[in-house]
Chains A and B, each alone.
Chain A
Amino acid sequence: MPRIVKSTVINAPTDRVWNVLRDFNGHDRWHPAVATSAIERSQPSDKIGCVRRFKLADGGELREQLLALSDLEQSFSYCLLDTPIPLFNYVAHVRLLPVTDGDRTFWHWECRFTTRAGEEARLVDMVGEQIYQAGFDAVRKHLSEAA
């Protein structure tokens, strides 16, 4: 089962980074791959089990379900329900940890999934770079513009 782990350090306190990330319906405001986001059935975006529907910048659509969210641990988990990409059994975890030395944030983003034979390397690279690493860079930019 392929696993992706990406991590970075953001030069801002965890509360500021968490304030951006915790909105499960807010990723269209910072992630370049996401054009629009909506929560189905008008549920609150911090209700466990809610489903977000993304329109991607490339025109694709996907649905993801919130599995866990913790303000105490500053973490959340979600899974893919429908996707145009052959990512199956995809579960991802995001968590923030304080870097006390300098009041910064360590951001850890990982997932596991299954896919068709021969697709692993391409998808590991695509998700790791275009979703996770691009997300790190986008939040870094978003926070510096908001500052």
Chain B
Amino acid sequence: MARVYVSSVINGRSDRVWARVRDFNGLPNWHPAIGESRIEGGEPADKIGCVRDFRLRNGDRIREKLLGLSDYEMFCTYSILESPMGVENYVATLRLTPVTDGDSTFVEWTAEFDCAPDREAELIASIGGAVFQGGFDALKRAFGG
């Protein structure tokens, strides 16, 4: 099983960063790689089990299921149902933790998945880079550093 771990520090209070990322249907509002998103079946975006169907700016379509969401612990866990990436058993978690020393936020994004062995390094690099670090870079810009 392959594992990706990317973490960063966002220069904003954790409740403000959480308000930006908690919407499971809101990726296009903050992630530069995502073009459009909708929740299937008209369900609320914070209903556990809901499915988001979104398109990357490159045209790829991905469907993901919300497995866990906690406003108290500030994390969101989801799995991939359908994607062109060639991954199986993909589960990811985005987690926020306050940095009390200054008003900033420690953000972690992890994923575990199975894939063909010869594609593992490439997938770890692209998921960790363009998707996770790319999202963090956008948050850093939005919160001024």
**Contact surface of A with B, Cβ cutoff 8 Å:** 5-9, 97-102, 104, 106, 108, 133, 136
Contact A136 B101 (CB under 8 A): yes
Contact B100 A6 (CB under 8 A): yes
Contact A108 B7 (CB under 8 A): no
Nearest residue, chain B, Cβ from A4: B100
B contact residues around A133 at 8 Å (CB):
101
B contact residues around A7 at 8 Å (CB):
97-101, 106
Q: What are 27 A-B contacts with C-beta separation under 8 Å? A: A5-B98, A6-B101, A7-B97, A7-B98, A7-B99, A8-B99, A8-B100, A9-B9, A9-B99, A9-B101, A9-B106, A98-B5, A98-B7, A99-B8, A99-B106, A100-B6, A100-B7, A100-B133, A101-B7, A101-B133, A102-B8, A102-B9, A106-B7, A106-B97, A106-B99, A133-B101, A136-B101
Q: How far is the CA of A92 from the CA of B26 in the complex (A)?
A: 37
**Contact surface of B with A, Cβ cutoff 8 Å:** 5-9, 97-102, 104, 106, 108, 133, 136
Contact A104 B9 (CB under 8 A): yes
Additional A-B contacts beyond A7-B98, A9-B9 (16; CB < 8 A): A7-B101, A7-B106, A8-B99, A8-B101, A8-B102, A9-B101, A9-B104, A97-B108, A98-B5, A99-B8, A100-B5, A101-B8, A101-B9, A101-B136, A104-B9, A136-B101
A contact residues around B108 at 8 Å (CB):
97
Nearest residue, chain B, Cβ from A108: B97
A interface: dominant SS: strand
B contact residues around A9 at 8 Å (CB):
9, 99, 101, 104, 106
Contact B100 A99 (CB under 8 A): no
Contact A97 B6 (CB under 8 A): no
Q: Assuming A9-B106, A106-B106, is B8 touching A100 (CB within 8 A)?
A: yes
Q: How far is the CA of A108 from the CA of B96 in the complex (A)?
A: 13
B contact residues around A101 at 8 Å (CB):
6-9, 133, 136
A contact residues around B101 at 8 Å (CB):
6-9, 133, 136
Q: How far is the CA of A108 from the CA of B99 in the complex (A)?
A: 8
Q: How far is the CA of A116 from the CA of B123 in the complex (A)?
A: 55
Q: How far is the CA of A40 from the CA of B24 in the complex (A)?
A: 53
Nearest residue, chain A, Cβ from B133: A101
Nearest residue, chain B, Cβ from A8: B101
Q: How far is the CA of A133 from the CA of B99 in the complex (A)?
A: 12
Nearest residue, chain A, Cβ from B8: A101
B contact residues around A102 at 8 Å (CB):
8-9
Contact B106 A97 (CB under 8 A): yes
A1 to chain B, nearest CB (A): 17
Question: Which residue from B7, B98, B102 sits with its C-beta under 8 Å from A99?
Answer: B7
Q: How far is the CA of A102 from the CA of B8 in the complex (A)?
A: 8
